[in-house]
Structure 1
Amino acid sequence: VTLKIYNMLGQEIKTLVNEQINAGVNTVTWNGQDNFGHKVSSGAYIYQIVSGNFVQTRKMILLK
C-alpha cells in the first residue's frame, strides 16, 4: 500500500505509507510536513492511495 500527498501541481509532497498493511480499518495521520520535515502551507492537496490494482485519488484541504 502506498499513500502519497501531492500539491495541486501534481508534485509529491509527502509519502505517508509505503508498506504492506493488513486488511481492515487503518488510520493514518499527516502532521502537515513534507518529505523533508518542512511544514507546508494551508491549502488544497491531493492524496492518492494505491493497493494492488486499486487506486483512489481525492482532494483535501489542510487548515492550520
Structure 2
Amino acid sequence: LVNDFKTAGSYVVEFNASTLSSGTYFYRLESNGFVDTKKMLLIK
C-alpha cells in the first residue's frame, strides 16, 4: 500500500478492499531497523 520514506509523524493509510475477500491479512511496518508484522481481519 505504501512503499515510501516518510518524515516522523502520524499517518493514516486508506485503501479500497472491495476486491478482497473476507479473511486474515498481514501487514508489515518497517522504520529505522524496526520491523513488526501485524494481523488485520477483513470482515464483509
Paired with 2:6 and 2:35, the residues of 1 have a C-alpha distance of 15
Give the alignment's TM-score, normalised by structure 2. 0.80
Identity between Structure 1 and Structure 2 (%)? 45
Where does structure 1 lack aligned partners over 5 or more consecutive residues? 1-15, 34-38
Deviation at 1:52, TM superposition (A): 2.8
Q: How many pairs were matched up?
A: 44
When Rg is computed on C-alpha atoms for both structures, the one with the higher figure is 2
Where does structure 2 lack aligned partners over 5 or more consecutive residues? none
Q: CA RMSD for the aligned pairs? A: 1.4
Q: Identify the structure with the greater strand proportion.
A: 1
Give the alignment's TM-score, normalised by structure 1. 0.60
After TM superposition, the runs of 4+ consecutive aligned structure 1 residues lying more than 4 A away are none
